[in-house]
Amino acid sequence: MFNSLSLLLGLASPAMNTTRLGRTGLKVSRVCLGTMNFGPQTDEETSHAIMDRALELGINFFDTANVYGWKKGEGWTEQILGRWFEKGGGRREKVVLATKVYGAMGDWPNMSRLSALHITRACEASLRRMKTDYIDLYQMHHVDRDTPWEEIWQAMETLVTQGKVLYVGSSNFAGWHIAQANEIAKSRHFLGLVSEQSLYNLIDRTVELEVIPACKAYGLGFIPWSPLKGGVLGGALQKATEGRRTADFQLKKIEKHRAQLEKYEALCTRIGAPPGEVGLAWVLQNPVVTAPIIGPRTHEQLDSALRAAELKLTDDTLKELDEIFPGPGGPAPEAYAW
């Protein structure tokens, strides 16, 4: 179990390797703790225990969003993090804290998206909820096509100057959006985007066309969300048999990919590694990937992520995974042209 005294004294020895977040000097763990389930699915006591365990394992990168908790305007998940930080013991200082802005925090105009007004108000509210003076990585949860980049960057620059935000990232951006945002930031002599968070796993590989190449070209850290496709790549066939994955939407995903999953799980058995660890290891072997986001419900799932970060897949295994889950064929335009 977690030794709270060792954390309090700063004596816990992190087991997980770190890497730089894109072109920055910021060091983060090779997996990122996702908190989306904290509140709606995982109660506060368990959420706090998971975060304590994450620190014990050396996971220092935590991701949340102001809309998580799914009670409009309340920031339920951010509040859970704030009460955990409030316990002290160096928790806030050890964590690289990432949250997001864009989603609706109320029904009135200017309570969503990326106007300078909403960015400023949303940041202040997140700081209050999480009981912190600064956000390490402030991410735009989606692109806002109606707000000019000059306005967005002016707001972000102000927050950085005030010390309330240290780095700015994006989420669910296209490659073109990354290029556009960073070119305008460059013209303003501003650091710009340092990371992109996108859907990426063995099944969902569209970002290989343009998003990942854009991240590589501009020096962005790439943070995959749903690296196991909501558990489908975590041994779903066996778990479905055991009755652990009975939700209709989950069963539909499993049936859609059953033929591939049968081959995948057979491969995992053959190489002697659990499917969930193989799926995470595959994502981590992409050199542009900084840290996939995991959403553990138990300590064992956290330990499993640690093992995945150490698992190296052979070239033969990678080739077989590509045959089971073929991607788009590489970056654009070569993937669809000569």
- DSSP string of 88-134? -TTHHHH-EEEEEE-S-SSSSTTSSTT-HHHHHHHHHHHHHHTT-S-
- β-pairing, 293-294 with 32-34? parallel
User: In sequence order, what are the residues at sequence separation of 6 or more whose Cβ sits closer than 8 angstroms to the Cβ of residue 287?
Assistant: none
- β-pairing, 193-199 with 32-34? unpaired
Torsions phi, psi for 123 (to 5 deg) = -65, -45
Do 181 and 148 contact (CB within 8 A), yes or no? no
Report the distance separating Cα 93 and Cα 96, nearest Å: 8
Catalytic residues: 68
Torsions phi, psi for 191 (to 5 deg) = -60, -35
Report the distance separating Cα 108 and Cα 112, nearest Å: 9
Helix (H, G, I), strand (E, B) or coil at 81: helix
Closest CA to 58 of 295, 303, 283: 303
Helix (H, G, I), strand (E, B) or coil at 20: strand
Do 278 and 211 contact (CB within 8 A), yes or no? no
